[in-house]
Amino acid sequence: MSDRVLLRDPRKEYPAPPFPKQPQIMPGLAKKMDPIPDHGEKSYRGSAKLAGRKALVTGGDSGIGRAVAIAFAREGADVAISYLPEEEVDAKDVIAVIEAAGRKAMALPGDVRDEPWCRDLVEKAVSALGGLDILVINAGRQQYREKIEELTTDDFDKTMKTNLYALHWIAQAAVPHLQAGASIITTASIQAYQPSAILLDYATTKAGIVAYSKALAKQLIKRGIRVNVVAPGPVWTALQPSGGQPDEKVQQFGKDSDFGRPGQPVELAPVYVLLASQEASFINGEVYGVTGGKGVA
């Protein structure tokens, strides 16, 4: 009997648009999406790449953060996830999956726009897990505005604090706990390189994440700590129908990718696993694009 894995057409691996109209109130829930995203609950299989590691993933209730948290647990890591209190129903599902993998899980509800909370969540994660050696800063805010006149100072401030300030606060609080061999992974976007007209503030923060992470990588490698970036393209997450895109764009989301569909969160998880693992011991300050063929240049 052949043990060859059957090939599958990647264009048909997951649902393609058109999708039903499905507006949600921010921050949005994965379980209300149609189709429900694949975060790896049933599809991700681990191979002990992160055995014994201790990870903190922000925005771990849904989307890419959820897929990463599940993959890390299946690879043998204990995982703490942070998320907004409004996302508790999704977060409970993730905690259950982590624990079902036989790993320790820690739930950290709170708003990363609050500096004291950013610092506190790191301390809580370290205390609960008994240390920290993987940090994934992934939580993000995306709200489209058609015109520059519609992008208020309050909008700009909320996006900056969620996507950039929190990155700094959390990294700054975590670094003293990290030892040589640890890994920090940030989540940027194709928007850093090919910004959409309706995402002025979001695209700006994603470009900032790339620059900040590259600079931090140069600084922390002197301590043996690696820092890398993942830059997704269109990925089917609750960020999109909860104000991240206009309703009509959500219905056709991912159609313009080379695959004719959006990516699923689980399709990014292996990149985060690689960057977190010892197998990436010579990878630092890099940006890994998972963009559906559009590139990051």
User: In CATH, what number is assigned to the domain containing residue 131?
Assistant: 3.40.50.720
| C-alpha span between 71 and 152 (Å, rounded) | 37
Smallest CA-to-CA distance from 250 within 258, 262, 260 is with 262
pLDDT digits (tens, 9 = 90+) for 18-33: 999 999 999 999 999 9
- Average pLDDT rounded to a whole number, residues 180-187: 98
pLDDT at 297: 74
Residue 1 lies in a domain: no
Q: Is residue 25 part of a domain?
A: no
pLDDT-derived band of residue 2, with 50, 70 and 90 as boundaries? low
Whether pTM exceeds 0.95:
yes
Domain that holds residue 131: 50-290
Q: What is the CA radius of gyration of the chain?
A: 18
On whether residue 18 sits in a domain, the answer given is: no
Q: Known catalytic residue: 44?
A: no
Q: How confident is the model at residue 104 (pLDDT cuts 50, 70, 90)?
A: very high
Contact 230, 268 (CB under 8 A): yes
Which one is predicted more confidently, 5 or 68? Answer: 68
Question: What is the pLDDT at residue 201?
Answer: 98
pLDDT at residue number 4: 72
Please check whether residue 120 lies inside any domain of the structure.
yes
Going by pLDDT thresholds of 50, 70 and 90, the confidence category of residue 5 is confident
Residue 13 placed within a domain:
no
pLDDT category of residue 77 using cuts at 50, 70 and 90: very high
- Residue tagged active-site, from 14, 83, 202, 212: 202
Pair 175, 122: CB distance under 8 Å: no
Q: For the chain, what is the domain count?
A: 1
In terms of phi and psi (left: phi > 0; alpha: psi -120 to 50; beta: otherwise), the region of 279 is: alpha
Find, among 243, 215, 192, 237, the residue nearest to 64 by Cα. 237
Does residue 14 belong to any structural domain of this protein?
no
In a domain, residue 139? The reply is yes
Across the chain, what does the average pLDDT equal?
A: 97
**121 domain-assigned:** yes
* pLDDT score of 1 more than 70: no
Mean pLDDT of 189-201: 98
